[in-house]
Structure 1
Amino acid sequence: MAERYSSFAPGGTTWLLQRITAAFLVVVLAFHFFLLHFVNHAADVTFAGTQARMQDVGYFLTMVLFLIAGTFHGVNGVYNALVNQGLEGAQRKVVLAVLVIASVALIVQGIYVAIVMAGWT
């Protein structure tokens, strides 16, 4: 039988965060679909409505946490998939650096857009 290999160390911090963000994303994604696809149908979702929702502090914080959790979960998953495929040495460090820089840029830009949408600029 083949030995199972994973770059996630069971019980490690990234292993735990991957699972916590997965659970959080499932709950918030369900909230998102319910709110924006069942309560408000696609034709009813407007720019003004989005601005109004973003002005609610609870909604704003939920969406910012959704952005951060989704970014971490996705990038961490891609990075570990690459490591599992044999990425190592200098290439591994370069890929990690690029992914971290891209993640930070995405989160900063996303938070900026959220702040503008909330009208807090």
Structure 2
Amino acid sequence: MAERYSSFAPGGTAWLLQRVTAAFLVVVLAYHFFLLHFVNHAWEITFGGTAARMENIGYFVTMILFLITATFHGVNGVYNALINQGLSGTPRKIVLGVLTIASLALIAQGIWVALVWRGMM
């Protein structure tokens, strides 16, 4: 029988953050689906409505945290899956750099859009 291998060391920081972000995402995704698919239906979602929701500081902060958490969780998962497949050495460092830059760009763009929707830019 094959041995189980994971780049996540149980009890390590990456292991813990992956689980904490997963728990946060489950709660925020449930909130998102409830608000934007049951309270407001898809055909009712407008740019103006989104701007109005972003004016609420609680919603704004939740969406920024959602963006950062989802980006970290997804990129960390992809990176560790690649490590589990045998990525090592220089290619590992390059992939880490590319994923880090892409993540920071995604987060910066998302925050900029949220600030525009909030009317702060």
Using the size of structure 2 for normalisation, the TM-score is: 0.99
Hey, what does 2:95 align to over in structure 1?
95
1:31 aligns with 2:55: no
Hey, what does 2:41 align to over in structure 1?
41
The Cα RMSD (Å) is 0.5
Q: CA deviation at 1:120?
A: 1.0
Hey, what does 1:62 align to over in structure 2?
62
Give deviations 1:12-63, integer Å, cap 9, x for gaps: 1111000000000010000000000000011111110000000100000000
Hey, what does 1:4 align to over in structure 2?
4
Between the aligned residues of both structures, percent identity stands at 75
Give 4+ residue runs of structure 1 displaced > 6 Å after superposition: none
Hey, what does 1:18 align to over in structure 2?
18
Hey, what does 1:71 align to over in structure 2?
71
Once residues 96 and 38 of structure 1 are traced to their aligned partners in structure 2, the CA distance between those partners, rounded to angstroms, is: 39
Where does the alignment leave 5 or more consecutive residues of structure 2 unmatched? none
Using the size of structure 1 for normalisation, the TM-score is: 0.99
Hey, what does 2:105 align to over in structure 1?
105
Once residues 40 and 21 of structure 1 are traced to their aligned partners in structure 2, the CA distance between those partners, rounded to angstroms, is: 26
Q: CA deviation at 1:91?
A: 0.2
Q: How many residues align?
A: 121
Where does the alignment leave 5 or more consecutive residues of structure 1 unmatched? none
